[in-house]
Chain A
Amino acid sequence: MQRSLTMLDSGLVGHRTIDRLLQAVIFFADSIAIRSSYEVAAVDRADARLIERRIDELREQGFVKLWAHEYEVDDAGRAGNPTDGDAVRRPADLVVPASTLGVSLGEMDEVMRSIRESAYGREPGERSPLRQGTAEIVGLRNHLASLVISAELNQDGMLTNPAVRTALTSTFRARPGEGFQAAVVREVIGQLQLGSLVNLTAEQVETCRRFSADFRTLLDQSVVAVARGLDPVISPENTARELMTRYRAISTEYALPRLGPQVGGEIVWDVLGATLPPSIVLKYGVKAFTWRKIAKEVRPYLLLMHLERALRQPEVGR
């Protein structure tokens, strides 16, 4: 099933944004919608052309879609950024229609009408159910509006929600505005000490995507585990730790020792990737079929193996 997410805090795009986009499309999403009218973040302005080119490349690969409001789009289907005098106009792949957005925001207002406005109206001395007073009400309103826009773009959900970023201080190590899966993936990358994924080439990203589906299954299963609670015990970082423990056990147990010294590096990838070319079957016979069995267990972790290989030995992965 295709999974498209919206990145609503994409008005400013920099290397960090590209890293988050790549984390998403490699690990748990198929495409991410970002603002068509984005500007390059001030901190990365020196690399503006590089960043623009990378976004174009990701768009050509189908991993990024550009979205705009209807009022921003001209007759040629392009949207510009008013702050730079419309100097740069980019195509809008997804457009939020003004009429349906109006209806949906109307529905949201109905819900908001019933949302407690206690921060404004409670009696002195009465215990407030809100932890941060009016800021929480404002944050909640923005959070819901973000969900409405994402739904209007016909996306499956949000990668990040800028409203939450300013609304609350989180008790979790997940960054405010970050969903559960994004938080787990960030932890996994941190525990593997892979650094930024920005260094992956377009081809390497494509190769990683060959292994994404199996890891996504694993990630979906880990989300089901969260159905029994989310607190400091069951948290994104602990989920990531559990995935990493299993990954390390599997890579120690299976990766090379079980396959034997006769299997060279590239063949290991064929075997573990379960492509099992006829030449390998002919050469190794029964062993090749045992490897296929092993591959089934290892397959969800191939993405991590491949990323380690690509980022630690760039000359091998390229």
Chain B
Amino acid sequence: MRLLPAEIGATSCRLIIQAGADLSIERSLRWQVQATEPVPLPELFRRFDASVVADETFSLPESTKALIPLRFAIPDTVYPFTILYLWMVSNVDQRPGVTRSDDAANALVWYLRVAAPHLDSTEVRRIHRALDRLPTIDVGKVSEADEGSDT
């Protein structure tokens, strides 16, 4: 039997969208959802990182919703949620023995708790479990591939 992804209620969705909008403004992140071809998470991260460094508008594929194992009562919440996650992955350091995406998941959950303290705690746990199920982003390999393609 296949379990349905956990649901995040409308109130929490609004708080997540607000957190994503505020972070985008505060850190000058420009992004837009576009109907482009599906992209796996590591590649999405690589493009996000490149856009931030180049100070360009990041194109987030509409199909991203298939990557995040959560059901949002306001479906578009998946996009600012993904931006928050990618920003965390982009900012956490690669430590020996710990994948960057593990740290990013912890950092994102912590960030949501302080940026939106009244986020429902049960839903925060659901978010954490969903993040733990995401594929590992091996940033080192993504960066190497990126450098290879540049030469």
Contact = CB atoms under 8 A, between A and B. Distances in A.
A177 B55 CA distance: 19
A224 B26 contact: no
A117 B93 contact: yes
Contacts of B90: 129
B143 to A, nearest CB: 9
Given A147-B115, A155-B117, A171-B55, A234 B103 contact: no
Interface in B62-90: 74, 76-77, 79-80, 90
A1, A114, A183, A223 — most chain B CB neighbours (10 Å): A114
Contact of B31 (A118, A128, A230): A230
Nearest to A148: B114
A156 B118 contact: yes
B128 to A, nearest CB: 14
B117 A156 contact: yes
B25 A174 contact: yes
A228 B76 contact: yes
Given A147-B114, A151-B117, A156-B117, A227 B79 contact: yes
B49 interface: yes
A232 to B, nearest CB: 7
A228 B81 CA distance: 11
Given A111-B107, A117-B93, A230-B21, 15 more contacts: A128-B53, A129-B52, A144-B111, A151-B117, A154-B117, A156-B118, A157-B117, A172-B25, A180-B25, A183-B25, A227-B17, A227-B74, A228-B32, A228-B33, A234-B32
B25 A236 contact: yes
B76 A224 contact: yes
A79 B35 CA distance: 55
A138 to B, nearest CB: 14
A226 B30 contact: no
B28 A168 contact: yes
B44 interface: no
Main secondary structure of the interface of B (DSSP, over half): helix
Interface residues of A, number: 56
Name the residue among B24, B28, B53, B115 with the largest chain A CB count within 10 angstroms: B28
Contact of A178 (B17, B25, B30, B31): B25
B22 interface: yes
A224 B92 contact: no
B30 A232 contact: yes
Nearest to B150: A127
A170 B31 contact: no
Contacts of A50: none
Contacts of A183: 25
A107 interface: yes
B53 A114 contact: no
Interface in B84-112: 90-93, 95, 98, 103, 106-107, 110-111
A117 B29 CA distance: 20
Contacts of B115: 147, 151, 157
A151 B113 contact: yes
Nearest to B113: A151
Interface string A179-210: 11101000000000000000000000000000
A177 B28 CA distance: 11
B116 interface: yes
B50 to A, nearest CB: 9
Among A117, A140, A143, A147, the one with the most B-chain Cβ atoms within 10 Å of its Cβ is A147
B60 interface: yes
B15 to A, nearest CB: 8
A131 interface: yes
17 contacts: A114-B103, A129-B90, A157-B22, A164-B27, A171-B55, A179-B25, A180-B21, A180-B22, A224-B17, A227-B79, A228-B76, A230-B21, A230-B31, A230-B32, A231-B57, A232-B30, A233-B32
Nearest to B80: A227
Contacts of B77: 227
Nearest to B60: A229
Contacts of A117: 93
B81 to A, nearest CB: 9
A181 to B, nearest CB: 8
